[in-house]
Amino acid sequence: MFTLLIFLLIFFGLPLAVMFLFERKLFAYRRTIAWALFFVYTFGFFWDWLSVRTGVWRYDSAPTLGLWIRGIPLEEFIGFYILGTLFIVTVASVMHTLFKNDDES
């Protein structure tokens, strides 16, 4: 059941939770995170919708929660749009902290 949701929780939610536990400071950059989410929910959604609409990919191959918005299941909005984006942003943020140029500060 809920293959997509479980999948997204395991591969994005779990590593994100681990990163959150170890380094909460990474989540202090609220504007950066907010804009990233904004772009994913606008451009990203349009891209996803276009891909589903023109038949590049489909989400109905596995059981979902059953709630759909424009051909995209709800768990994609919660799972990938939020957790996936936060995961990518956090990894980039970790790298930025690791390789931060001393000239900046």
Q: 33, 89 in Cβ contact below 8 A?
A: yes
Q: Looking at the DSSP assignment, which residues form a beta bridge with residue 69?
A: 72
Q: 19, 86 in Cβ contact below 8 A?
A: no
- Distance, in Å, from the CA atom of 37 to the CA atom of 90, rounded to the nearest integer, reads 12
Residue 86, SS3? helix
Least Å distance, CB 66 to another protein, is 16
**46, 38, 40: which is closest to 70 by C-alpha?**
46
Determine which residue in the list 9, 62, 78, 82 makes contact with another protein, applying CB under 8 A.
Answer: 62
Could you say whether residue 67 binds another protein (CB under 8 A)?
A: no
Q: Looking at the DSSP assignment, which residues form a beta bridge with residue 72?
A: 69
Interface pattern 72-91 for another protein (x via CB under 8 A): -------------x--xx-x
Could you say whether residue 19 binds another protein (CB under 8 A)?
A: no
Q: How far is CA 34 from the centre of its chain?
A: 12
Determine which residue in the list 45, 50, 77, 81 makes contact with another protein, applying CB under 8 A.
Answer: 50
Determine which residue in the list 3, 42, 70, 71 makes contact with another protein, applying CB under 8 A.
Answer: 3
Sites of contact with another protein (CB under 8 A): 3-4, 7-8, 11, 29, 31-32, 35-36, 39, 43, 47, 50-51, 54-59, 61-62, 85, 88-89, 91-96, 98-101, 103-104
